Amino acid sequence: MSSLVPPGDHCFYSRKEKSLGVLCSNFLKLYNRDGVDSIGLDDAANRLGVERRRIYDIVNILESVGVLSKKAKNQYFWRGFGGIPKALDMLKEEALNENLSTSSSCLSDYNVSHDYLYEGLPTSGKDKPSASCKVDSRKEKSLGLLTQNFIKLFISSKADLMTLDYIAKALLGDIHDPTAMRNNSAAKVRRLYDIANVFSSINLIEKTHHPESRKPAFRWLGLEGSPKDGPVTALKFNEIKKRVFGTEITNSLPKKYKKESSLDWNSNKKADTPVLMRCNNLIDEHDRNSLLQPRKHTSNGFVFGPFTPASVADLGHSENKNVRQVQDLEDLASPYGPRYRNQALTDLFGHYRAAWKSWYVEAAEKKHIQKGSILNS
DNA sequence: ACATCCCGCCACATT
DNA sequence: AATGTGGCGGGATGT
């Protein structure tokens, strides 16, 4: 039985739908459009129906490639994909001098105070004063830094295909046991997955497997694979969006069963916004990798997945009417969702949507079943 | 059994 | 002290 089982009853929990990659795509769909120039973390979290923590992950990674840059507490500048080239050049350059200095030993992590990682602002802002060295120990292990090194690894090498563990070794000390650092724990690899997920949703890389070894690997697509720039350039992306359907409508759905059957209704106390968002259509990584994308290059007929005008009206042909309606409703809902911090309202709103959704899913499912077509992967 | 990686606790940084 | 950030890794899911 392939992936999605016909959801017996309302909403089942599916891990895939909550992946960072998908979330990132949604994030992009939300902000990658004209007129956007600033992003509020709270807003993002609410609109996407996820915890704030996840937004940090995305934002930190995207910032490393110049798509975003921090403005202030809770605020980020939206720079768009146009910021990628410059960021990459910068990293490349950085990677260059680094190599010179550390002849032997590996290009492993820290040491060397390369702090000017986040320059961000194009105009001025160059190096921040008082960079000093050896101060912030926390940042040395940050996702952002790891991301930058991840990129450097690729752009300073001709090889565009690297296996996961090679990267892990390279980025996290080790490699033939350089002094100490035995902590190579595979634990850190989780971070690599995080990076890989958002990068692949941006099409900077592609998840694959090494030819023979079958080992998981990443292929660097670089700029060819990503949008040159320009927000909302989405032009073609037809055909991609139809399958969509096997998937739920998306995020939220309290993670696991959470034994407490007692609804949260008035018992919720924490931020755990059950809100569920629209956007059930967006390319599923697997589909993209296995079916659509033949090989690198976006060539044609395939755009950077995640970017859909967000108000994509069209959507399918006849008889999808239903789908479209939901889509519309969801689209309508999100913008007017809780934009003000008010837990009660937020939750209430979320439940309404949940109700709508489960109803819809049920109906749609029924319809599809009799149609006997579940074009999933 | 092994590969992925969600989830959220809680330490550390800023306000 | 309160709130914003974001390491970190347990353990659920996917294959």
Work out the average pLDDT over A105-109: 39
Q: How far is CA A258 from the centre of its chain?
A: 26
Predicted TM-score (pTM) of the model is 0.62
Find the angle CA(A269)-CA(A274)-CA(A279) to the nearest 5 degrees. 160
Is the CB atom of residue A21 positioned under 7 angstroms from any atom of strand B? yes
Q: CA A260, CA A67: separation in Å to the nearest integer?
A: 41
Question: Which residue is closest to C12 in terms of CA–C1' distance?
Answer: A256
Q: What is the pLDDT of residue A33?
A: 87
A261-299 confidence digits (pLDDT tens):
333 333 333 333 333 333 333 333 333 333 333 333 333
Name A234's Cβ contacts closer than 8 Å, sequence gap at least 6.
A303, A307, A308, A309
What confidence score (pLDDT) does residue A289 get?
Answer: 36
A213 CB neighbours strand B below 7 A:
no
Band (pLDDT 50/70/90 cuts) for residue A68 is very high
Decide: CB of A248 under 7 A of nucleic strand B. Answer: no
Residue A128 CB closer than 7 angstroms to strand B?
no
- Straight-line distance from CA A313 to C1' C9, in Å? 42
Closest CA to A155 of A225, A93, A203: A93
Which of A48-52, A133-137, A155-159, A210-214 comes out lowest in average pLDDT? A133-137
Question: Distance between CA A126 and CA A147 in Å, rounded?
Answer: 20
A239 touches strand B (CB under 7 A): no
Q: Does the nearest atom of strand B lie within 7 Å of A214's Cβ? A: no
Residue A116 and residue A98 in contact, taking contact as beta carbons nearer than 8 Å: no
- Whether A77 shows a pLDDT value over 80: the answer reads yes
Task: In whole angstroms, give the CA distance from residue A89 to residue A297.
Answer: 20
* Residue A342 CA distance to nucleotide B14 C1' (Å): 24
| Residues A48 and A277: beta-carbon distance below 8 Å | yes
Q: In the Cβ-directed half-sphere of A144, how many Cα atoms lie within 13 Å?
A: 23
Nucleotides of strand C under 7 angstroms from a protein beta carbon:
4-15
